[in-house]
A and B are shown apart, each in its own frame.
Chain A
Amino acid sequence: MKSNPLTRRRLLPFAVPLVAALALAGCSASGTGKSDGPVTITLATETRFGKTSAYQDIIDKFNKSNQQGITVRLQEIPTDSYSQTIRTQFQAGSAPDVVWGSPGTGSGNSLGVFAKAGQLVDLSKESWATATVPKSAHDLYYEGAALTAVPVDIAPISEVINSTAFGSTGIKPASTFAELLKQCTAVPASGGTSLFGLAGAQSSNTGLAALQLAASRVYAAQPDWNAKRSAGKVTFAGSSGWKSTLEAFVKMKDSGCFQPGSEGGSPETVTPVFASGKILSIFAPAGIASQLAQLAPSATISVAALPGVKASDTFLFASPTNALAINAAGKHIDAAKALLKFWTEPQNLDAFAKANGNLSLTTVLNGSHVPDQYASLEPYLTNPERNAPLPNLLWPNASVYDALGTGVQGLLTGQTTVSQVLQSMDAAWG
């Protein structure tokens, strides 16, 4: 890890007594420092809300089965402070041995940021690691020739729908955007609240809605749009696809697709109405469907791809968003590699994806069977031309997605225009 020598000198007088105090308190029990003896390593993830961590399941399995005396301890860090905590730990040299995050550089918990700072182990020499990265996600996981992390599952980004409510309203998930707009007016007329529930107060949710609209309008025709933007060949403001994306969002708003008061909506307010069947669908990662099903035991909760302008345009983001990387300054890199190697074995990938509510990497890598819960997404998941990872993960910083999400909030409240939002995204790109 690189650090400012000046800072080191300044911190030395504080660091020495602190280290001494910790040593006296016996706080150095996380391993022997030898790679051949029993060791304890730590894996850090965000806190999983209200359910047993799927990460813990695999860790338990590894702890029981490994013959090298390795014990893995899961450290769950609250979601809202995860990236801040991990960043501070890396900077202080006290980061966990294995860290969870998203690949690329475009989100708050991007592992690519740590890779650029030389703080992650290069896994490109490990065949088990290179074999786990889907071809479509190559740019996300590689920093130059270095492999920065391994993916552990695939998260389809879709509409999560209340099929029972759809049935009682007498409509089926739309196959074109025009059909969807008609349904937006039909749902309130039939006693429902709205076709979509939008957590408008959360820029992450408005951003996700916009990205789903961009799937068929931008990335279906130009999967390499991000590369062109990086090369300066295109801009958001000059892109007809992006303009059409945000205009589609405004059309949805004007057609009453979202619940009344959607600009103040939050997951806490939308979810119960969705579970009650008054709201028919929400923008969310498909993995959340199993959790929502628990809230609505009498309803069938499933998933669907948001339709494109034409049915043939429909495109799905299926993203290897959950990734694990190894801390380059960790004391037990071999033990950490053993854990990840175990994790990437097909049966463990399948078990993890099932527990996490996502799609197993083996579906993409080996063409395994698509689980029943994702049957409606199969045409997209099995066709490499019709799916790609979430594009914002490849954006150069988290500010671009923030500009998108915040800008869509402004479109919802009428505070801004489509061209202003796109210009702010270009400005945030840098």
Chain B
Amino acid sequence: MTSQTRGVALDSAHPTGARDLGRAVRRSKRAQKQATGHRSATWWWAAPAVVLTIGVQYFGVGAGSVFAFTDWSGLGAFTFVGFDNFAAAFRSPETVQALWNTLLLAVCFVVLTNVFGLGLALALNRTLKSRYVLRVLIFLPVVLSPLGVAYVWKFIFQPNGPLNEVLRAVGRDSWAVAWLGDPHTAIWTIVVVVVWQNIGLTMVIYLAGLATVPVELEEAAAVDGASAWSRFRRIVLPLLRPTIVIASALTLIQGLRIFDQVLALTGGGPFNSTQTLATLVYKETFVNGRFGYGSALSLILTLLIVVAAVLQVTLLRQRED
């Protein structure tokens, strides 16, 4: 039986029902029309913001990336050089070192801020009486200027700074080194500073995530004899996975573009030991006046951030599924 004959049969057998159905179809069509109208109206209202976002953010970045294919010095005319800047970047040991440092800093940043942030969030989630004060104290560095914080730490890490003075005072003279000038320690001092400043942020994200974990579930598991570790692994962690995706994606993006602290603490030195792609972009573009080359490096950094963030979110979501 075709749909048309089914309709005729229905119509003849139940005249009232058919009328109702007709009204319902007409209502549905009207509603559909209204919804379409609402949607187009919504787009019109959003258009200025969308145009501005595209014009200011994406068009600017897109137009800037054109310079990656030129030899522009930041002044006057330029010529297109194809992929020469990219080839030069990957041939340069300085860029390769910066790429490695960028990845190292980002990985350390993601792992340490998330592990410590989650640990602190768990510790300060419910039972501790002084948890509100402690949360504020741990979150406080997040609101401080990264440059200001870096300069304070720079003072602490100076060859004759407080850290070395303390080490000497407790008889550990051999441990007192030029933390920021020693190629073996410089990058780790930066890790310490950036992790210290950002733990509070991940802690807050995880506290928000922990608030969504039902207390009853944990209590039931505890009544059933599950240990604290089992409850964390089997109940809390699975329910926190969306929060972990967000926190790790945010920290990865932040970690890949660390700039202020490196510039203030070491300036990328000694001998490029702490140079990152972000600081190299600054140096080549604004110090050495190589805008074309600097744009190429910026493009590489942007692609790196996009690829890493998409990969990470995809992998974590797959695990979640």
Contact = CB atoms under 8 A, between A and B. Distances in A.
Closest CB pairs A-B (n = 8): A264-B181, A261-B159, A264-B178, A263-B181, A117-B76, A410-B271, A261-B178, A117-B75
Nearest to A105: B289
A406 interface: yes
B270 interface: yes
A300 B77 CA distance: 52
Contacts of B73: 113, 117
Interface stretch (A60-68, A82-90, A237-245): A82-90
Contacts of B180: 201, 264
A264 B74 contact: no
A113 B291 CA distance: 13
B182 interface: yes
A262 B74 CA distance: 35
Interface string A114-153: 1011110000000000000000000000000000000000
B79 to A, nearest CB: 12
A51 interface: no
A409 B289 contact: no
A192 to B, nearest CB: 15
Contacts of B12: none
A347 B229 CA distance: 82
Interface stretch (A39-47, A315-323, A372-380, A412-420): A412-420
Interface string B154-196: 0001111000000000000000011111110000000000000
Given A117-B76, A264-B159, A84 B286 contact: yes
Contacts of A416: 271
Interface in B266-285: 266-267, 269-273, 283
Interface of B: 63, 73-78, 157-160, 177-183, 266-267, 269-273, 283, 286-290
Contact of A410 (B74, B75, B270): B270
A402 interface: yes
Interface centre among A2, A114, A200 (most CB of B within 10 A): A200
A203 B290 contact: no
Contacts of B271: 406-407, 409-410, 413, 415-416
A216 to B, nearest CB: 26
A323 B272 CA distance: 32
A68 to B, nearest CB: 31
Contacts of B288: 108, 397-399, 402
Nearest to A118: B76
A91 B75 contact: yes
Interface in A1-34: 1-2, 4, 10
A202 B264 CA distance: 11
A97 to B, nearest CB: 18
26 contacts: A2-B76, A4-B77, A4-B78, A10-B63, A83-B289, A91-B74, A108-B288, A113-B73, A114-B75, A117-B75, A117-B77, A118-B76, A119-B75, A201-B181, A260-B159, A261-B177, A264-B159, A264-B180, A266-B158, A269-B158, A269-B159, A397-B289, A399-B290, A409-B269, A413-B271, A413-B273
A261 B270 contact: no
Interface centre among A114, A203, A412 (most CB of B within 10 A): A203
Contacts of A117: 73, 75-77
Contacts of B286: 81, 83-84
Nearest to B283: A402
Interface in A338-362: none
A402 B287 contact: yes
A265 interface: yes
Given A269-B158, A397-B289, A399-B290, A87 B74 contact: yes
B138 to A, nearest CB: 29
B298 to A, nearest CB: 15
Main secondary structure of the interface of A (DSSP, over half): helix
Contact of A263 (B160, B270, B272, B283): B270
Interface in A71-87: 81, 83-84, 87
Contacts, number: 106
A4 B67 CA distance: 12
Nearest to B273: A415
Interface centre among A202, A264, A402 (most CB of B within 10 A): A264
Contacts of B77: 2, 4, 117
Interface in A320-345: none
Interface in A174-231: 200-203
Contact of A413 (B74, B182, B267): B182
A87 B272 contact: no
Contacts of B283: 402
Nearest to A398: B288
Given A91-B75, A117-B75, A261-B181, A203 B267 contact: yes
Given A113-B289, A259-B159, 9 more contacts: A2-B76, A108-B289, A117-B77, A119-B75, A260-B159, A264-B159, A266-B158, A269-B158, A413-B181
Given A261-B159, A264-B158, A406 B269 contact: yes
Given A203-B269, A415-B270, A264 B289 contact: no
Nearest to A428: B288
A90 B272 CA distance: 31
Contacts of B76: 1-2, 116-119
B267 A202 contact: yes
Nearest to B272: A406
A415 B75 contact: no
A4 B291 CA distance: 15
Contacts of B181: 200-201, 261-265, 413
A113 B267 contact: no
A410 B94 CA distance: 12
Interface in A243-292: 259-266, 269, 273
A262 B159 CA distance: 8
Given A87-B289, A409-B271, A413-B270, A264 B182 contact: yes
A415 B186 CA distance: 13
A116 B272 CA distance: 31
Interface centre among A108, A261, A415 (most CB of B within 10 A): A261
Nearest to A85: B286
Contact of B75 (A90, A273, A412): A90
Nearest to A411: B271
Given A407-B271, A409-B269, A413-B181, A398 B289 contact: yes
A139 to B, nearest CB: 20
A294 B59 CA distance: 52
Contacts of A83: 286-287, 289
A418 B179 CA distance: 24
B270 A265 contact: no
